[in-house]
Chains A and B, each alone.
Chain A
Amino acid sequence: MNLFGKKSYFSLDGNEDKKKNDRRKKRNEPSIPDGMWIKCNTCKSIIYKKEVTEYKLCPDCDAHFRMSPEERIAITCDEGSFTELDSNMRPMNPMRYPGYDEVIENAQKKAGIPEAVVTGHAKIDGYEVVLAIMDSHFMMGSMGSVVGEKVTRAVEYATQYRLPIIIFTTSGGARMQEGIMSLMQMAKVSAALARHDEAGLLYVTVLTDPTTGGVTASFAMLGDIILAEPKALIGFAGQRVIQGTIHQKLPEGFQRAEFQLEHGFADRIVHRTKIREELATILKLHSS
């Protein structure tokens, strides 16, 4: 399912790689083994994989590729400081959706993690924080019972230990395969955030590509401070749904991070290489 123009890079396989290699050979360049090339979906450039740094940016157009929680932790947290919470939690099948077990298994293989969010506590520039990092590689980062429960527990942990919480969002919204239980997660997480808020604690969201649907309409938009990565798709309704309703072309840049900034729904757009630094400054200014 590709509800959102996918802005990730992917390995080229088979023929396209071969064609590329053939072209290189013709130009008398050294041949490079399969899977060493990736294509940027934004500028369509073919990029040598090693040119992509740990920040996962397109070397040609600076597009911010989608990241895994592991990669995010590596560029955000103090080395070795991350301790995962609730790593054993696994989904069930509340709606008895046929084939859900298989869907989950495939998603786990593809994303390499058991569910669409990783939570834990860590240090950023020495400041203790609680983190929740979503992963769009796992069923489009959709929120079912496990995502809702893990994020809720992370928020409750932060409230209990009087810590700030930072959530990196990326999600297609509520997970349809878990039916009404997915929808109720929106209320559950929001209620936990209300208590964290009442306790006078800091909540920062970093909206990454894409953040839509039920995640936008719950915890993504509730940060005391809302940061967004450049050009990230951020919105409530899906673009196809809107187009199907209004039957007109959507404006250029609709629902992108810059659009949200312009309309007052994000505090800052932050380039990925600067996020750690900005979070550290925010944490410093909220510590006393």
Chain B
Amino acid sequence: MSDTMRKVAIARKIARPNTKEFIEDIFDDFLEFHGDRLYADDGAVTGGIASFEGIPVTVVGIQKGHDLDENVQCNFGQPGPEGYRKALRLMKQAEKFKRPVITFINTAGAYPGIGAEERGQGEAIARNLKEMSNLKTPIISIFTGEGGSGGALALAVADTVWMLENGLFSVLSPEGFASILWRDSSRVEEAATLMKMTAKDLMKDKVVDKIFYEAKEGIENNLQYTTDQIKTALRETLPELRGLSTEGLLGRRYKRFRQYGEFTE
């Protein structure tokens, strides 16, 4: 098995710590908030307020379950439009109260369903991209597992983007890539390698700024090994971002996303 395929398998492991477990481990006083105030409460997105070593923060993330019951509750970590709108509501609240936002991303992608389309999945993701690019408070995004396409990007328009050693981020799944572009689902491994979807690849492309390592015995057996690194990074980065003027912060964020793309002219 190729190195990338091994990472794909690890990122999708059902035992992999989910967003609520990361939040509980890293923050204190987490209060989960519910609902998008428009239609429903999407279990695929969790979020609320918490404290990081005395600093009030807003945390939002995509939630997966460890068994079927949990996964029914959180729709296998595939948000609908109400999930993205709930995330945006919490982020706008953070802006109002000048709290930094920390997002956790682990999703195969936005849910493809009839109801999701009826309620504007595309509009919800689009709005998050636009509003996050201009949110007047620091945003830090952490990819903890899968990072599937626009449904992951909708929580990742951040000032700095971090990723776990076995995290992923790609335009679509390697399975989808092989079957659509090559009409050959047996070429998944080749697709995964070509797509450069791992933390190391993404660091080269300047999509990811920092990588956190996972314990040899598996992150599900030693979460603290990784959350200690995350805490250290937050301790350094939060004061840095909070020290910037709003103009400086937004200017930096704009530049970060403005740079992407390869072309000649």
Contact = CB atoms under 8 A, between A and B. Distances in A.
B112 A245 contact: yes
Contacts of A238: 112
B254 interface: yes
Contacts of B265: 86, 88-90
A265 interface: yes
Interface string A152-193: 100000000000000000000010111111111111101111
A242 B133 contact: no
Given A180-B171, A188-B260, A237-B117, A219 B126 contact: yes
A236 interface: yes
A17 B147 CA distance: 49
A3 B172 CA distance: 15
Given A179-B170, A180-B197, A190-B133, A236 B263 contact: no
B117 A236 contact: yes
B113 A242 contact: yes
B149 A174 contact: yes
Interface string B134-171: 10000000000000011001101100000000000111
Interface string B220-232: 0000000000000
Nearest to B154: A217
A86 B113 CA distance: 38
Contacts of B121: 217, 236-237
A140 B156 CA distance: 27
A264 interface: yes
Contacts of A94: 205, 261-262
A250 interface: yes
A179 B129 contact: no
A24 B108 CA distance: 55
Contact of B126 (A180, A220, A237, A264): A220
Given A190-B126, A216-B126, A97 B133 contact: no
Nearest to A223: B126
Contacts, number: 186
Contact of B263 (A91, A179, A180): A91
A214 B126 CA distance: 9
A188 B258 contact: yes
A89 B134 CA distance: 28
Nearest to A250: B114
B123 interface: yes
Given A180-B197, A183-B150, A254 B114 contact: yes
A221 B127 contact: yes
B12 interface: no
A8 interface: no
Select the residue from A3, A190, A216, A238 with max chain B CB neighbours within 10 A: A190
A185 B261 contact: yes
Contacts of A86: 265
Nearest to B123: A221
Given A188-B257, A217-B125, A237 B112 contact: yes
Contacts of B101: none
A18 to B, nearest CB: 32
A198 interface: yes
Contact of A182 (B122, B171, B264): B171
B264 A180 contact: no
Interface string A121-154: 0000000000000000000000011101100100
A54 B253 CA distance: 44
A255 B121 CA distance: 12
Nearest to B169: A180
A237 B110 contact: yes
Contacts of A285: none
A180 B205 contact: yes
Contacts of A1: 180
Select the residue from A86, A145, A181 with max chain B CB neighbours within 10 A: A181
A246 B114 contact: yes
B120 interface: yes
Contacts of B171: 174, 176, 178-180, 182-183
B258 A181 contact: no
Contacts of A264: 120
Given A145-B263, A146-B261, 10 more contacts: A1-B180, A145-B261, A186-B150, A187-B153, A192-B258, A217-B150, A221-B127, A236-B110, A242-B112, A242-B117
Interface of A: 1, 3, 86, 88-98, 144-146, 148-149, 152, 174, 176-188, 190-195, 197-198, 213-214, 216-222, 235-238, 241-242, 245-246, 250-251, 254-255, 259, 263-265
25 contacts: A1-B180, A95-B196, A144-B261, A145-B262, A152-B258, A180-B205, A181-B205, A185-B260, A188-B257, A191-B258, A193-B130, A216-B122, A216-B126, A217-B126, A218-B126, A219-B126, A221-B127, A222-B126, A222-B127, A236-B125, A242-B112, A245-B112, A251-B114, A263-B118, A265-B120
